[in-house]
Amino acid sequence: MGGDHGPPVVIPAVVRAIAGLPENVRFLLHGDEPTLTAALAKHPQAARRMDIRHAERVIAMDEKPAQALRRGKGTSMWNAVEAVRDGQAVAALSAGNTGALNGISKLILRMCVEVDRPALVASIPHSCGVTTFLDVGANVDCDAARLVEFAIMGEAYHRAAHGVARPTVGLLNVGSEEMKGHEEVREANRILRQGTIDLDYKGFVEGDDITAGSVQVVVTDGFTGNVALKAMEGAAKFMYGELRGALTSGPVTSLGALLARSSLLRFRDKMSPPPAAPLLGLNGIVLKCHGGADARDFAKAIRAAADVAQSGFAAEIERNMRRLPAALAPAAASADGAA
């Protein structure tokens, strides 16, 4: 029921996505039963692989998270997350209210790590793929252990979402030398360097490595990540605006722009990020699709959710998380020794 459009986008999207997915992938649709049944009537083939779960209420896109939590029980969003907790679904996908989805997911599934809130992941395009970049805003204050948790979760997500056997991981800093940066980032680097955590860790990376694709997963705290993400979005938006201005500034250049139009559209398409992002750190898989998604975007988000659901994502995170206490202990000891 979520997103700016609701069933008129969600139903065509799920019909579109299901055709390309293995037979064993099935869907639970949470929402108003009459609306959903009517929308599915024209798609009997797809409808066979879906169950409708009626919900009396929905959470509005502009509802405050605190209010959504109080009156969330029985809404379509609540039920979708509850189905993950109860083992009826492997993953939940919503295009609804982001703050509400965060709060409800945390309340129902609980965190599997010690961060305050599910980490937010951005997928940044680069010339030959996508960089998984986290945390982009949920957790502002992060100590070294939190950064290592982000590395573990981000790496497992990148493998699940992009089918890369062993993604490379870097820690965002202001230089690549060991003594650079503040204490938290240097300590996280020491922990990851030990090799106790099973990751292909490449060391420190810098801000321009995010779009250079130097590593596949870039880890940082929620303050730096949020600022960097928005700074990149701002730079891209500014460049796009200037470019449009430059290309339409005279009759000859306008003709040029017209001739280059299809290339510019392909370019713009490549610059727009994937439509689904996971909430990382929960005991269960929840993905967020952006609210303005059309049926094509939402179908992509469904395929991404199905990929993650079918992977050993949660088990892999758990496997590495169990190594974390051991990894932290010697690091603390050596830090004491150095002091």
Based on CB atoms, which residue is closest to its own copies, 107 or 227?
Answer: 227
For residue 178 the two structure tokens come to: 């060991």
User: What amino acid is encoded at 85 in this protein?
Assistant: R
How far is 27 from 171, CA to CA, in rounded Å?
Answer: 37
Judged by CB under 8 A, the residue of 43, 57, 126, 193 near its own copies is 126
How far is 2 from 77, CA to CA, in rounded Å?
Answer: 8
Based on CB atoms, which residue is closest to its own copies, 80 or 144?
Answer: 144
How far is 123 from 24, CA to CA, in rounded Å?
Answer: 28
- Segment lying near its own copies (by CB under 8 A), choices 76-84, 154-162, 229-237, 308-316: 229-237
CB 263 → its own copies: shortest distance, Å? 4
Q: Where are the beta strands (DSSP E) in 173-264?
A: 200-205, 217-219
Asked whether position 263 contacts its own copies by CB under 8 A, the answer is: yes
Contacts of 106 (CB under 8 A, 6+ apart): 117, 118, 282
Strand partners, 205: 172
For residue 259 the two structure tokens come to: 């001739």
Asked whether position 66 contacts its own copies by CB under 8 A, the answer is: no
- Segment lying near its own copies (by CB under 8 A), choices 51-59, 65-73, 244-252, 295-303: 244-252
How far is 236 from 228, CA to CA, in rounded Å?
Answer: 12
CB 130 → its own copies: shortest distance, Å? 12
Based on CB atoms, which residue is closest to its own copies, 50 or 119?
Answer: 119
How far is 43 from 20, CA to CA, in rounded Å?
Answer: 15
Among 285, 314, 289, CA closest to 301: 289
CB 178 → its own copies: shortest distance, Å? 14
Based on CB atoms, which residue is closest to its own copies, 34 or 256?
Answer: 256
Q: Which residue has the tokens 């992002």?
A: 277
- Segment lying near its own copies (by CB under 8 A), choices 24-32, 34-42, 228-236, 302-310: 228-236
Site string for its own copies, 130-169 (x = CB under 8 A): -------x--xx----------------------------
Asked whether position 271 contacts its own copies by CB under 8 A, the answer is: yes
By CB under 8 A, the count of residues binding its own copies is 60
How far is 2 from 115, CA to CA, in rounded Å?
Answer: 27
Four-residue CA torsion sign, 45, 55, 67, 279: negative
Site for its own copies, residues 198 to 217, rule: CB under 8 A: 206-212
**Applying CB under 8 A, which residues contact its own copies?**
125-127, 137, 140-141, 172, 174, 180-182, 206-212, 220, 222-224, 226-243, 246-247, 249-250, 252-253, 255-264, 266-267, 270-271
